[in-house]
A and B are shown apart, each in its own frame.
Chain A
């Protein structure tokens, strides 16, 4: 018994290590996408979960803001442009001694004026003589910064960087690219399972062979077909229907194979009985097979949809890389090139691109796994 507990603890520890290693990358990205971009560029995301010490430089207002109260001239305001919940602990007026004064302490400056800074950034600068500084006074502060998250990055990425449009474009690519092959292949799979015609077995063997044919084999000839068609009808060779058909082609073998395995496994008595009753294959397919295949169709829908959503190559080759057509993975790749150092853009863009797959993953995990397992055990 003792040995069992010991081995169970070891097992739990090993698994825990795996889980931590596996979740940290995504978790870091998720946290970072909600961080202030300046903080993101200067500190690790793991520091953002706790209160941290930051050193900053701010400026007071200049002479134009002064007011006069009983012979005393005053400039007052708040050091922070936006309230992010920071609390000042100490401040200074020279870069050599940035912690010269504690918060709320009365600092007497060289010209005899006095300056106080409160915890929340409010300051008051008093002098007997009128102020004549053109620029505000520099104040160095040390503050504690609480965890602070924002949606700013999302606003910027979705609307200014064009990721929002790319998201819609990807939907435009992905929905038909999933539904069209599903329709075409379910008829095909039915014919391969239950209809008699010459060359059926050969056709099935071709499908199985095509399962592993790399997409790269098709790219060059297809590009030239597309270009020819474009030139013939004097339209752009790159278009949404073109991509739909490409995805249909590349997903055809696996979709057909999975559906055929499922449809073939349905009881043949049922189909024969319907035939005897005078049902045509079309009736049998739409009224019996299709309703029974819904779980299988759901699994395959998810596989194909995720495949298309996550695809980069087909989107790069068969669509123009312009705002109205670029898909989200291609957009992300473009941002990696052009905004390589702007982690607030990259992390947020990546997370936006992941929202749909992750939603599907968490809501429909059962179907997703079922599809993968069906595809592997039999394939």
Chain B
């Protein structure tokens, strides 16, 4: 396609959307008296597109996926919990669950911790803003882009050759043997997680940075006058004060990590025991012509994992509304 037709395509898409609101509201004004503001029709016009999209793209699929998980690969015949039984006995599925658990334990913990430390340090140093920019930058990069960046860092050449991967160059300069990092089972998961920590630390940092500004200056000064060291202030004032923020960041990163897919697909595609649920699900969308039953099971396991967070969010929202 040429640039010209691409531009036309884009404009047409957006125009249709704007026209809908313009024309429908114009027609409503035209056919009703002024000041018929509370008419349900107007509310309907405002809500309908978003609601229909929500219905088709989120609500219906959630129920349909649950249904499909109890049906065969074509979604035609009811098979009970066969797909779940298959999954529990499938070594790949088990590996995926284990790896996902590892990701969930390590990535949110490290990202939150690093983010908190960096936000704290950067706020007190004159070049802190530049430092924060640099730490935050990976947030803008795609997971696949980050995958390429880190695959280059982990690149492996035979022991006699010049290493072009940064990590192996360091290892060799200490007189050790170079390693093919992403092919060493179990440990390779850590090298993949490092990529995610590299990305998510920036997110944690900016949110902490904003929250830190909410800590009353007087409190910190009082602590300093009383002779508290920086470490003491960090552990007994800042961390308790930021409890809520820590929880929020933890849940955000947890949700991202649960769905981790791009990095695995780009780096290993699940080889060398790095399989995760989202990648398995993608795989089963197409494996053997696609198996909607098994694929749905993976989606549902991920979904079950986010339900506690979902409940927590709704609860918190209710609390806020009350205030």
Contact = CB atoms under 8 A, between A and B. Distances in A.
Interface in A337-378: 343, 346-347, 349-350, 353-354, 357-358, 360-361, 365, 368-369, 372-373, 376-378
Instruction: Give me the 8 closest cross-chain CB pairs, A-B, nearest first.
Output: A249-B57, A310-B142, A188-B50, A221-B64, A350-B148, A218-B61, A361-B140, A221-B61
B98 interface: no
Interface in A303-362: 306, 309-313, 316-317, 324, 329, 332-333, 336, 343, 346-347, 349-350, 353-354, 357-358, 360-361
Given A44-B166, A46-B169, A353-B145, A376 B249 contact: yes
B322 interface: no
Contacts of A22: 134-135, 137-138, 198, 201
23 contacts: A8-B124, A23-B134, A25-B198, A28-B152, A29-B149, A207-B54, A208-B314, A210-B54, A214-B302, A216-B281, A217-B300, A218-B61, A219-B281, A219-B285, A221-B65, A246-B57, A249-B54, A310-B145, A333-B265, A354-B141, A358-B140, A368-B140, A377-B248
B58 A218 contact: yes
Nearest to B147: A336
Contacts of B162: 42-44
Contacts of A221: 60-61, 64-65, 68
Interface in A111-130: none
B285 A223 contact: yes
A184 B138 CA distance: 30
A275 B37 contact: yes
Contacts of A40: 164
A325 to B, nearest CB: 9
B68 to A, nearest CB: 6
A171 B135 CA distance: 27
Interface residue tally of chain B, by bracket? 35 or more
Interface of A: 7-8, 11-12, 14-15, 18-19, 22-26, 28-29, 32, 40-46, 168-169, 171-172, 175-176, 179-180, 183-185, 187-188, 190-191, 195-197, 203-225, 240-241, 244-246, 248-250, 252-253, 256, 275, 278, 280-282, 285, 306, 309-313, 316-317, 324, 329, 332-333, 336, 343, 346-347, 349-350, 353-354, 357-358, 360-361, 365, 368-369, 372-373, 376-379
Counting chain A CB atoms within 10 Å of each CB, the highest count among B54, B148, B258, B262 belongs to B148
B211 interface: yes
Contact of B14 (A26, A176, A349, A365): A176
A187 B310 CA distance: 25
A249 B61 CA distance: 11
B313 A373 contact: no
Interface string B242-272: 0001001100100100110110011000000
The B interface, classified by DSSP as helix, strand, loop or mixed, is helix
Interface stretch (B5-13, B84-92, B183-191): B5-13
B153 A195 contact: no
A244 B13 contact: yes
Given A19-B134, A213-B306, A376-B249, A188 B47 contact: yes
B145 A212 contact: no
Contacts of A191: 43, 46-47
A301 to B, nearest CB: 13
B58 A213 contact: yes
Nearest to B35: A278
Given A213-B306, A225-B56, A372-B206, A26 B137 contact: yes
A24 B56 CA distance: 44
B70 to A, nearest CB: 13
Contacts of A379: 248, 252, 313
A185 B303 contact: no
B317 to A, nearest CB: 5
Interface in B1-25: 1, 3, 6, 9-10, 13-14, 17-18, 21, 25
B144 A312 contact: yes
Nearest to B214: A377
B125 interface: yes
Contacts of A311: 142
A59 B44 CA distance: 79
A15 B40 CA distance: 57
Interface stretch (B102-110, B215-223, B291-299): B291-299
B303 A214 contact: yes
B203 A361 contact: no
B259 A252 contact: no
Contacts of A347: 148, 152
